Amino acid sequence: MHDRFQGSHSTEDAAAVAAFERAVAAVAAHRPLAGAALDEAVAHDPAFVAAHALKGFAALMLGRVELLGPAADAARAARAALGQGAAPTRAEDALVRALEAAVAGRFLAAAVVLEARLRFEPLNFLLLKLSHALRFMAGDAPGMLAATAAVVPEWRPDAGGAGYVYGCHAFALEEAGQFRAAERFGDLALALAPDDAWGLHAVSHVDEMEGRVSEGIARLEGTRSLWSRCNNFQFHMAWHLALLHLEAGEGETALHIYDDEIRPQPTDDYRDVANAASLLWRLKLAGIGVAGRWDELIEIGKRRTHDTTLVFASLHYLLALSAAGERSAARATLEAWRDTVAQGAGDQARTAGDVGLDLARVIVGEDGRRPDYAGIARRLPAIGGSNAQRDVFLQTLAHRARDAEDWRALGDILAVRRQQRWADSFERRMGATVQHCVA
Ligand SMILES: [Fe+2]
C-alpha cells in the first residue's frame, strides 16, 4: 500500500497506514502526538516496518543516552517485521538499514542509505525528511542542500508533502547563505502547507541573518497561531523571537519571552535546554543579569555529565555548568568526552575529537596557554545545528580571544561570522575592539 506521502508499505492494513500518515503529518509540521499515532499503527499491524523504523529514528533524534536502547529495540523490531508477511518494499528495506546505521552512531551513513533510495523514489517524503534531519544533526549543511536540491525538481505541488519538502529546501538554502532562494522556497512551502513551521522557520532564519529585526519580529508575531501549536519546536521559534528583541536592545522583553515561551517548563529535551542555555549565555555576554534562571539548567547539566550522545547537547550543558562555576561537573563532562573520543565509535566521537573537545575546553576555561580560537571557529559547523544556534559559540570564542588579547584570532572569528550574517551589534562591538587594539 502507499501512504499519502508517497511511502510504500508491505502492510495491507488500511487503518495502520492511516495512523502512520497521521504520524508523518505530525513530524512534517512539528506537531505533537506523532508517537501516539505510531503506537496506533503498530497496534493495528505489529509488523508495520516503517512505523517501527520511525519510532527508532524519533528516539535517536532526542539525543539522550537512555533512549539508545529503545532505538535499538525499534531497529530490531523493524528488521524482524521485514521478514514477516508480504515481501518488503525497497523503501522499507532502506528505512531499516538506515536506522541500523544510525543506531550504530553513524548518522551520515544513514542519510546516504536514505538518499540512495530517494534516487529511485524522489517523492518519498519521509525518506527526505529523515535524511534532512540526520544531516542537520550531524553538521553537514552542504549534504543537506545536496539532498533537497536533488529531489526538488522532481516534486509537483500536488504531491503529498510538497510544501514540507520546499520548507526543507528553504532551510538548506538559508544555511548555505542563499537567502533570496530560501525566502522563495519558504514562501512556496507556506502557500502549499500553511502549517509548515519548518518553512516559516527558514524564513525567520533569513530575518536573523540579514538583520531584518523589526520585520522578523512582526513575522513571528503574525504567525503565532501557526508555531504556537507545534510540539516543543514552539520553544525554538520563541527563541528566535527573543534573539530579535535582544538585537533590538530589548533585553527585558527577551527575558519575558524566556520565562513565558522558551522555558515555560523545565523539560529535559536537549533542544529545549539548548534554546534556554544559549539565550541566557548571550544575555550574560551582553552584560544582562538573568537572576536564578540558570539553576534548573545546571541541575540538568549535572545529570548529563556522562551522557556523550551528542556533542551539540553537551556543549550547551557546559554553558550552564560554566555560567555557575560548577567546575567539577564541567570537568566530568570533559572527561566523559575524552573517553568517548578514545573509544572512537561513531560520528559524534569523531566530531568531539575534531572540534567538540577543543570548544568544550574553551567554554570551561581549561584550554591551556594559547588555543587556536579561530581554528575552532572554522571547524564549528561539524557540531551540527544551525548557523544561528552555533553563533553563541562563535561569540564565546570571540570573547575568549579578546580576553587573551589575541587580536588576529578575534579578527578571524569575526570574519567567519561575517560570512554568515550581517554586521549585528555584537560585530560592531567586537569589531571596534579589534580596530582600537590593532591601531
Ligand atoms: Fe532555528
Mean pLDDT, the chain, as a whole number? 96
Q: Is the pLDDT of residue 436 over 70?
A: no
C-alpha torsion 189→191→197→200, nearest 10: 80
CA of 202 to the centre of ligand 1 (A): 7
CA of 236 to the centre of ligand 1 (A): 6
Chain-centroid distance of CA 410 in Å reads: 27
Pairs from 353-362 (Cβ < 8 Å, separation ≥ 24): 354/379, 354/382, 355/379, 355/380, 355/382, 355/383, 356/311, 356/314, 356/315, 356/382, 356/383, 359/315, 359/383, 359/393, 359/397, 360/314, 360/315, 360/318, 360/333, 360/334, 361/334, 362/396, 362/397, 362/400
Secondary-structure percent of the chain, ordered helix, strand, coil, rounded to 5: 75, 0, 25
Residue ending a domain, among 120, 142, 164, is 142
pLDDT of residue 366: 85
> How many of the other CB atoms lie within 10 Å of CB of 356?
27
The answer as to whether 366 is a domain residue is: yes
For residue 94, give the C-alpha cell.
532502506
The answer as to whether 43 is a domain residue is: yes
The answer as to whether 436 is a domain residue is: yes
The answer as to whether 293 is a domain residue is: yes
CA of 81 to the centre of ligand 1 (A): 36
Q: Is the pLDDT of residue 435 over 80?
A: no
pLDDT of residue 431: 79
CA of 15 to the centre of ligand 1 (A): 35
The answer as to whether 98 is a domain residue is: yes
Identity of residue 78: A
pLDDT of residue 348: 97
CA of 158 to the centre of ligand 1 (A): 27
Per DSSP, 2 falls in state: B
Q: How far is residue 95's CA from residue 311's CA, in Å, rounded to a whole number?
A: 25
Nearest one of 416, 434, 427 to 380, comparing CA atoms: 416
User: What is the per-residue pLDDT across 25-44, written as a single tens digit (0 to 9) for each?
Assistant: 999 999 999 999 999 999 99
CA of 322 to the centre of ligand 1 (A): 24
Residue ending a domain, among 87, 116, 142, is 142
Q: Is the pLDDT of residue 439 over 60?
A: no
Q: Is the pLDDT of residue 12 over 90?
A: yes
| 8: β partners | 2
Parent domain of 439: 267-439
Range from 232-236, 283-287, 387-391 carrying the lowest mean pLDDT: 283-287
CA of 383 to the centre of ligand 1 (A): 15
The answer as to whether 189 is a domain residue is: no
CA of 208 to the centre of ligand 1 (A): 9
CA of 103 to the centre of ligand 1 (A): 25
CA of 132 to the centre of ligand 1 (A): 14
pLDDT of residue 344: 87
End-to-end CA distance of the chain: 70
CA of 192 to the centre of ligand 1 (A): 21
Mean pLDDT within 204-223? 98
By the 10 Å C-beta count (0-12 exposed, 13-18 middle, 19+ buried), 18 is classed as middle
| 421: β partners | none
CA of 65 to the centre of ligand 1 (A): 24
User: What is the per-residue pLDDT across 56-109, written as a single tens digit (0 to 9) for each?
Assistant: 999 999 999 999 999 999 999 999 999 887 899 999 999 999 999 999 999 999
pLDDT of residue 411: 95
CA of 262 to the centre of ligand 1 (A): 13
Identity of residue 391: D
Confidence of residue 437 (pLDDT cuts 50, 70, 90): low
Q: How far is residue 273's CA from residue 197's CA, in Å, rounded to a whole number?
A: 20
CA of 256 to the centre of ligand 1 (A): 19
pLDDT of residue 223: 98
Q: Is the pLDDT of residue 368 over 80?
A: no
CATH of the domain at 91: 1.25.40
CA of 389 to the centre of ligand 1 (A): 7
Confidence of residue 111 (pLDDT cuts 50, 70, 90): very high
CA of 237 to the centre of ligand 1 (A): 7
User: What is the per-residue pLDDT across 369-381, written as a single tens digit (0 to 9) for each?
Assistant: 779 999 999 999 9
Structural domain count of the chain: 2
Mean pLDDT within 306-314? 98
The answer as to whether 259 is a domain residue is: no
Confidence of residue 438 (pLDDT cuts 50, 70, 90): low
Residue ending a domain, among 110, 142, 174, is 142
User: What is the per-residue pLDDT across 342-356, written as a single tens digit (0 to 9) for each?
Assistant: 998 899 999 999 999
59 vs 55, 62, 110, 167, CA distance in Å? 6, 6, 15, 23
The answer as to whether 155 is a domain residue is: no
CA of 206 to the centre of ligand 1 (A): 10
User: What is the per-residue pLDDT across 245-302, written as a single tens digit (0 to 9) for each?
Assistant: 999 999 999 999 999 999 999 999 999 999 999 999 999 988 899 999 999 999 999 9
CA of 370 to the centre of ligand 1 (A): 32
CA of 241 to the centre of ligand 1 (A): 10
pTM of this prediction exceeds 0.95 = yes
CA of 78 to the centre of ligand 1 (A): 32
In sequence order, which residues have a C-beta less than 8 Å from that of residue 282 and are 6 or more positions away?
Answer: 243, 246, 392, 395
Identity of residue 386: S
3-state DSSP assignment of residue 361: helix
